Structure 1
Amino acid sequence: MTIRRRAALGAPLLLLPGVPRAQAPAPFPDRAITVLLGYPPGGVTDITTRAVAERMARELGVPVVVENRAGAATAVANTAAAQARPDGYTLLMGTSTLAINPGLQPNLTPKEPMRELAPIGTVFRTAFVLHVHPSLPVRSTAELIAWAKANPGKLNFGSSGTGAVNHLAQALFARRAGIEVTHVPYRGGAPALLDLRAGRIQAMFQAVLEALPVLGEGATRGLAISSAERLPLLPDLPPVAEALPGFDVVFWQGLFAPAGTPAPVLARLEAALTAVTRDADLRARMAENGVVITTGDAAALRKTLAEETVMWGDLIRDAGIKPD
């Protein structure tokens, strides 16, 4: 190699006229982030999502905007997020429906949430109250099971709709307890609660916030909590698991990104979410709504989604549950 060639190799690269200089990628994030939510404004899921988004904006230094896209059992929002550019600027506040839809409505997209979405972290778990009309002569889960066995098919169990988590909780409860119940689906928890108050149905797994007023009035009688742990808001209600070991049904919420989002971006989002879910003020505020804020990383959320997809899929198939 000649001296001239060695000098050329060691010289700095000169840009030709009109050729742009390569730029390093901008640090993430450098603009607003959108979080899609498959529920309308005003409910606990929406309230929690907005509280989390507000605090994530502080952690990340950019606006975090919640966009409600309700419809098709949350599939509208789920699909939009799964099909978004995988750059971390469009996220999904996913829920238990991601585990339910593949078994209940396999034509909905995304058909494979485990493959089409990247978990970031868990946000909350909220249990259901198992409560009954006071005319039913039972005061515990064990007594309810005994009554149902003595009166097969006579226990009318309401839900907020076929395939809703509280319906699946009821179906799992009946299967584990070995009892026959009559499922009465409604279009939402409010009309079901009206009929429970009136005694037209006898039992229901109800969202905590909806159940609290009627429990306080004595219009219904609380028997248990659907989660494996007691709920601070209702410390006197034991878990169903004390009568049916291993029973643990909750409605959960977790943050996802489109599959293919770069690992450093996912790590930045996970770190911000972890900091948010450890916020004592947020935890206390949500506890007033019966919501247990959970600091769960991406691995924990992935495990929850995988396990519940199998659990609910098996139950839906074995019990022959079909969407309305």
Structure 2
Amino acid sequence: MIIRRRALLAAPALLPAAARAQAPEAFPARAITVMSGYAPGGVTDITSRAVAERMGRELGVPMVVENRAGAATSVAGTAVAGSRPDGYTLLMGTSTLAINPGLQPSLTPKEPLRELAPIGMVFRTAFVLHVHPALPVRSTAELVAWCRANPGRLNFGSSGTGAVNHLAQALFAQRAGIEVTHVPYRGGAPALLDLRAGRIQAMFQAVLEALPSLRDGGTRGLAISSADRSGLLPDLPPVADALPGFDVVFWQGLFAPAGTPAPVLARLEAALAAATQDGDVRARMAESGVTITTGDAAALRRTLEAETAMWGALIRDAGIRPD
């Protein structure tokens, strides 16, 4: 009987009150599946696993990250949106949830704000604006001035059409009133090779990916895309110093299927808060260039709402289409 009671006590917080009242005494503790739309090994995957492991300890049940990459993360998002809303299938969603409705409206979930329930923020990570050293600019203001004097001549790379760093470039050009040539690649690595070789002249890139090139002088850093400075590149000012209000990051947040009972969401939100406030987790992620963010469900909803509107308008106004 003791073993059976322990199994029951391991997971009751994930059940709404009515379900707990009807559950058999030996209701089994089950693993929670956290789906990720990215392949194993990247920053999103590493962060997902660190946070899930810490949440699992808080909840007293295993949390298993399952990678379901494909279709601009919609494979994972669709699987979670269509799953049973009981708290046992979650999504580590990212900025793509705000981008896909405007860029690829045929992808599901078509309405993430309606089909998914926010639990809380996990991280924000900025991009560094860096250029080939031969480009005669050393600040954002100088880059803007050069582009105005040389319309269309700057080849601005990205890791792919519709990627957050591409949209950062498009927003930068729109806000600065400049004309640049977008050169999309299949990932950040080949784009960086061409930036170092001078085949493109500028790029917004994840800080951790750009660091080696910045340190060996292969590229020159001008600014950070977030409103705040980067802990890894504290000497670089925000783009917002030259273009007020500019604040572009790649973010990750935890979601459940819409319809998940409020008590379940509250328990998951509390466990996520404990994980994102954990000093060891924050220190480990800082080494990967990731700023763990403690933000509740309301903050995540506000971010998704604001960015869905912002990216949708930019995609429409700039005529951005998927490759």
TM range (shorter): over 0.9
SS of residue matched to 1:172: helix
Q: CA deviation at 1:193?
A: 0.3
Instruction: Indicate the SS of the match to 2:30.
Output: coil
TM superposition shift of 1:229: 0.2
- 1:107-126 residue pairs with structure 2 within 5 A? 107-126=106-125
Task: Name the counterpart of 2:153.
Answer: 154
Larger Rg: 1
2: distance between equivalents of 1:165 and 1:142? 22
Counterpart in 1 of 2:271? 272
Q: Which residue pairs with 1:105 in the alignment? A: 104
Q: Which residue of 1 aligns with 2:195?
A: 196
1:10-43: CA deviation from partner (whole Å, max 9, x where unpaired): xxxxxxxxxxxx9534799931100000000000
- Of 280-289 and 252-261, more deviation after overlay is shown by 280-289
| Alignment-derived partner of residue 221 in structure 2 | 222
Unaligned stretches of 5+ residues in structure 1: 1-21
1:95-125 CA-to-partner distances (Å, cap 9, x unmatched) read 0000000000000000000000000000000
1:60 maps to which residue?
59
Q: Is structure 2 residue 22 aligned with structure 1 residue 24?
A: yes
SS in 2 for 1:293: strand
Question: Contact 1:128–1:166 at 8 Å: present in 2 too?
Answer: yes
User: In the TM superposition, what is the alpha-carbon distance from 1:283 to its structure 2 partner?
Assistant: 1.0
| Residue in 1 that maps onto 2:73 | 74
C-alpha distance in 2 between matches for 1:100 and 1:26: 43
Q: Is the 8 A contact 1:157 1:203 kept in 2?
A: yes
Structure 2: which amino acid aligns with 1:259?
A: A
Partners in 2 of 1:302 and 1:221 — Cα distance?
Answer: 36
User: Aligned partner of 2:137: which letter?
Assistant: V
Q: What is the DSSP-based 3-state SS (H/G/I as helix, E as strand, rest coil) of the residue aligned with 2:22?
A: coil
Q: TM-score, normalised by structure 2?
A: 0.92
1:232 is paired with a residue whose SS is coil
Between the aligned partners of 1:287 and 1:152, the Cα distance in structure 2 is 38
> Could you tell me which amino acid in structure 2 is paired with residue 280 of structure 1?
G
Aligned with 1:136: secondary structure?
Answer: coil
1:257 aligns with 2:235: no
Q: Which amino acid aligns with 1:294?
A: T
Q: Matches of 1:98 and 1:29 in 2, distance apart?
A: 33
Q: How does 1:1-324 map to 2 (within 5 A)?
A: 24-25=22-23, 30-324=29-323
For the aligned residue pairs, the C-alpha RMSD in angstroms reads: 1.3
Q: Distance in 2 between matches of 1:317 and 1:217?
A: 39
Give CA deviations for 1:57-95 in whole Å, capped at 9, x if unaligned.
Answer: 100000000000000000000000000000000000000
* Counterpart-to-counterpart distance in 2, 1:222 and 1:29: 53
Residue 14 of structure 1 corresponds to which residue in structure 2? none
Contact 1:29-1:60 within 8 A present in 2 as well: no
Change (3 A) 1:143 1:212: same
